[in-house]
Amino acid sequence: MTRFFLAALAFACAVSIAHAAEVVATVPTTAVILPYGEWLLAAANLFTAVIVPVLGGFLIQAVTKVYPWAALFLTQKRVEQMANAVTEYAVNAVPGAVKEGKLSIPVGSAVIAKAIQYGINNAPAKAMEAAGGPQGLAKIVFRKLNLVDEADEANTLAPVLSNLPKK
């Protein structure tokens, strides 16, 4: 029985070798193997050596063209935030001033004066300069206040501006 088994095994090996030789003989030998790994490495080196600096240059050029507009926008937002903060502080600090109601002329002048003083004491110098100094801040605060109908620049803002130190 073992001889029969060994003979069958030998026959199967011979048949498989013959079949493998036949398969190898039918495969065309004109296959081209592309070394795409080397190409990818060369392309990556080209990209990092040439294209990245060029794109960086374009990005820097775009930023330099947009920067003045962005700086102006950010400065205006900073001034607006400062003006809101000093106005809110002054309305809370001056007796007789209310947030929702109308302010009389003397109370409005007191609120403007208090807001300017608070801005001078606490606001960053760059923000005060961007607002136009104490005079510019006074005009911004004047526009933000809800004053009585009789109030105008001459009777509410002018007395505050006349008390400011001149440069």
pLDDT tens profile 97-128: 888 888 888 999 999 999 999 999 998 888 89
pLDDT at 137: 93
Region class of 24: left (phi > 0), else alpha (psi between -120 and 50), else beta: alpha
Q: pTM of this prediction? A: 0.60
pLDDT of amino acid 163 = 84
**C-alpha span between 77 and 75 (Å, rounded):** 5
User: What stretches in the chain show pLDDT beneath 70?
Assistant: 1-9, 12-29, 31-32, 34, 166-167
- In a 3-state reduction of DSSP, which class is residue 165? coil
The burial class, CB within 10 Å (0-12 / 13-18 / 19+), for 93 is middle
Element (H, E) at 20: helix 2-26
The SS3 of residue 146 is: coil
